Amino acid sequence: MIGTIVNFFAIVVGSLLGMIFKKRINQDIGYSLFKVLGLCVMYLGIAGVLQVKNSLVVILSMALGTLLGEIINIEGRLEILSGHVETLVNKIYDGKVKDGFLTATLLFCIGSMAIIGTIESTLANSHGTLFAKSILDGIMAVIFSSTMGFGVLLSGFSVLLYQGTIALFANLLKPLMTPETITMISGVGGIMILGLGINMVFGTKLKISNMLPALLVPLAYTLVLSLWRLAGI
């Protein structure tokens, strides 16, 4: 959990710095920074997608995962949750919370670094991946919070919960985390990160939250494949 805790504090400290410097950034500069950051997010997404070799599984993952997410209506439920959070926070902080909370939560939680880094940190006591992620997230938090406010800081708690949950199930996930599975997860996460960047740059409303179950499909695929091979023996 050390890596996850460091990641949490990196986001919190980065967010606080961003909100402090926000007063020195005028609206036009803030808008430009937000759009440029959106382009950078798109780049990160494309980089993840380019690693993919088994594109068929990634496409299937996105289709099945999004279908499940739409049925469950993850986006709607998160909107309601973040609305409640905004209402509570507005009692002590006057400003928008929901957009920053949702956007930063998705950015910091989607991707293989959160999954692989947490497993390495828990099982091998190797925190390098999460420390690297912490630096990236901290920098992102500074820029995000300077334009989107306090909600970005609250996303640190989402990371703490998300990566903490992965840590609890690390022993179960480890046998499934083959290099091929990691690449597929990177590809799926890359597509979602790309979609998040598109939302930021073009103001579209792609429901990225509803795509989240797609991250589980490569794991399910690896499990089924392993059982198939075992049965063949």
Q: pLDDT tens track of the chain, all 233 residues?
A: 788 999 999 999 999 998 888 777 677 777 787 788 888 888 888 888 888 888 999 999 999 999 999 999 998 998 888 888 778 777 766 667 888 888 899 889 887 678 878 887 887 788 887 998 898 889 889 888 888 888 899 999 999 999 999 888 888 878 888 888 888 888 888 898 899 889 889 988 899 889 989 988 999 999 999 888 887 65
Q: Evaluate the CA torsion angle 23, 201, 65, 59 in order and state its sign.
A: negative
**Can you give the pLDDT at residue 60?**
95
Residues in CB range of 19: below 8 A, 6 or more apart: 145, 146, 149, 150, 153
Give the helix, strand, coil percentages of the chain, each rounded to 5.
85, 0, 15
The tokens of 137 are what? Answer: 């997230």
Please choose, from the candidates 53, 54, 72, 75, the residue with its C-alpha nearest in 3D space to the C-alpha of residue 64. Answer: 72
Query: What is the pLDDT at residue 217?
Result: 93
